[in-house]
Amino acid sequence: MADLYLHDWRGWTPHRVADGELRLDTRDKPAGTAVPSMLRRRLNLIGRAVCDMLSDLDPDADSVVLHASRHGDGERTLEMLYGLNEGEPLSPARFGLSVHNAIAGVYSIASGNRRSQQAIAASGGEWAALIAETRGYLADTHSSVVVVFSDQPVPRRFAAYAPESHSAAVALRIGHGPTPDARRLSETSVTMKTPTLQPLDIIDWLMDKRADVACPISHRGWQLANVRP
Amino acid sequence: MATTALEHELKEMIIETLELEDVTPDDIDPEEPLFVDGLGLDSIDALELGLALQKRYGITLESEAESSRQHFANLRSLAALVESRRQK
């Protein structure tokens, strides 16, 4: 399978120390300045972080954007369902922002990006799905795409049914050719049983705190290597 | 022109309901348009505001009616609507 190249990345999580890594934002509340305040007010913390990261990685607003999240905005969605069950009227704004492609949609409106925006949920196979989709777009004339992987803790009353997770988002520009500071992203087959990949795992991997990442569902693993010695 | 107590109450309701994080009550001019120009609210805000009026004052608006557009023109017209049709 052809290697991919990681051109650049950005991350957000309050659950890690940046340790001088400027590409990682560790503030509790991301600024969200890439989006005008009248749009920003409707975004949750993940949404603010993702829009800021996309603005950095897609400054010309001309990239295909793939956004994967296992649970999306579970808090907002489930609270609406409980409200409906009790006969409460739905908040139109909250309903509009509860859909899985809401963040990509807000980014598209704010930036004017009219390329494909794709939202993915894959039952724990989000990272593998992002890479598979990336290969598809790269094979279809695009020289690079921007992928985003984000998640937040599952609402408390459902927490027992999902692995523990922390709020984190990571965005990567991936292409099929190297750039001066790119790192080679190679993919291999793995058989070892590993925990489900979460955005925080990808951030640790990008910061060289782990050597590789693997998806137990797709049986695929990924490694990063510097292109230049 | 001075702001009435009801207008001030509506300003706070608008800011809270629509999560206008960078707006204070003083920023809302009672005579300025609430939508597009002026405060810059959009169609989702109109629905959200309609819901808030229903919850807080028991006022139900017909979404297609031209009168709704007039009621939502600015804060002053909204206050007049609440004054004349509030149930609670």
What is the mean predicted confidence (pLDDT) over A151-173?
92
The answer to whether position A107 is within a domain reads: yes
SS (H, E, C) chain A: CCCEEEEEEEEECCCCCCCCCCCEECCCCCCCCCCCHHHHCCCCHHHHHHHHHHHHHCCCCCCCEEEECCCCCHHHHHHHHHHHHCCCCCCHHHHHCCCCCHHHHHHHHHHCCCCCEEEECCCCCHHHHHHHHHHHHHHCCCCEEEEEEEECCCCHHHHHHCCCCCCEEEEEEEECCCCCCCEEEEEEECCCCCCCCCHHHHHHHHCCCCCEEEECCCCEEEEEEECCC
Compute, in degrees rounded to 10, the torsion defined by CA atoms A67, A69, A73, A75: -170
Structural domain span for residue A133: 8-174
Average pLDDT over residues A208-213: 95
Task: Answer whether B87's CB lies under 8 Å from B10's CB.
Answer: no
User: How would you classify the pairing of strands A117-120 and A65-68?
Assistant: parallel
CB proximity list for A136: less than 8 A, separation 6 or greater: none
Tell whether A40 is within 8 A of chain B (Cβ).
yes
Q: What is the pLDDT of residue A159?
A: 87
User: Which pLDDT value is given to residue B68?
Assistant: 80
Burial class (CB in 10 A: 0-12, 13-18, 19+), A43: buried
**Number of domains chain A contains:** 1
Kindly determine whether residue A96 and residue B54, on different chains, have CB atoms separated by under 8 Å: no
* Mean pLDDT computed over A179-186: 94
Tell me if residue B19 falls in helix, strand or coil. coil
Contact A16, A26 (CB under 8 A): yes
Q: What is the pLDDT of residue B1?
A: 59
- Residue A126: the pLDDT is 97
Evaluate if residue B62 carries a pLDDT over 80: no
CATH code of B20's domain: 1.10.1200.10
Chain B nearest-CA distance from A72, in A, is 21
- What residues of A are in contact with residue B39 (Cβ under 8 Å)? none
Q: Are A69 and A100 in contact (CB under 8 A)?
A: yes
Asked if the model's pLDDT at residue A10 lies above 80, the reply is yes
Smallest CA-to-CA distance from A49 within A28, A71, A79, A63 is with A28
Average pLDDT rounded to a whole number, residues B50-78: 87
Determine the Cα–Cα distance for residues B29 and A45; give it in Å rounded to an integer: 30
pLDDT at B45: 93
A166 touches chain B (CB under 8 A): no
Is residue A86 situated within a structural domain? yes
Total domains in the fold of chain B = 1
Domain at A60, CATH number: 3.40.47.10
Q: How far is CA A17 from the centre of its chain?
A: 19
Confidence of residue B63 (pLDDT cuts 50, 70, 90): low
Out of B40, B44, B54, the one facing A93 most closely (by C-beta) is: B44
Does the CB of A93 have a partner CB in chain B at under 8 Å? Answer: yes
Cα angle, residue A216 at apex, residues A212 and A217 outer, rounded to 5°: 135
Model confidence pLDDT, tens digit, residues A56-78: 999 999 999 999 999 999 888 88
Check pLDDT > 80 for residue B66.
no
Chain A residue closest to B45 (CA)? A93
A35, A40, A48, A91: best to mutate for the B interface, most B CBs within 10 A:
A91
CA distance A32 to chain B (A): 12
The predicted-structure confidence for A114-128, as pLDDT tens digits, reads as follows 999 999 999 999 999
pLDDT digit string (tens) for A19-33? 999 999 999 999 999
Closest Cβ–Cβ partner in A37, A40, A92 for B47: A92
Which of A37, A38, A76, A97 should be substituted to probe chain B, the one whose Cβ sees the most B Cβ atoms within 10 Å?
A38
The boundaries of the domain holding residue B12 are 5-85
pLDDT over 60 at A13, yes or no = yes
Q: How sure is the predictor about A167, in pLDDT bands with cuts at 50, 70 and 90?
A: very high
What was the pLDDT predicted at A3? 87
Cβ–Cβ contacts within 10 Å for residue A20, how many? Answer: 6
Q: What is the ipTM of this complex?
A: 0.79
Whose structure tokens read 């509506």? B10
Residue A190 placed within a domain:
no
Task: Please report, as a single letter, which amino acid is at residue B45.
Answer: D
Give CA separation, A179 vs A9, A96, A148, B34, in Å: 13, 38, 20, 48
Tell whether A58 is covered by a domain: yes
Residue A80 has pLDDT above 70, yes or no: yes
Q: How confident is the model at residue A229 (pLDDT cuts 50, 70, 90)?
A: low
Please check whether residue B54 touches A, CB under 8 A: yes
Residue A3 lies in a domain: no
Q: How far is A93 from chain B (nearest CA, A)?
A: 6
Instruction: Establish if A118 belongs to a structural domain.
Output: yes
* Length in residues, chain B: 88
Does residue A75 sit within a domain? yes
A59 CB near a chain B CB, below 8 Å? no
Tell me: pLDDT of B26 over 70.
yes
Contact B48 A37 (CB under 8 A): no
Q: Is residue A103 part of a domain?
A: yes
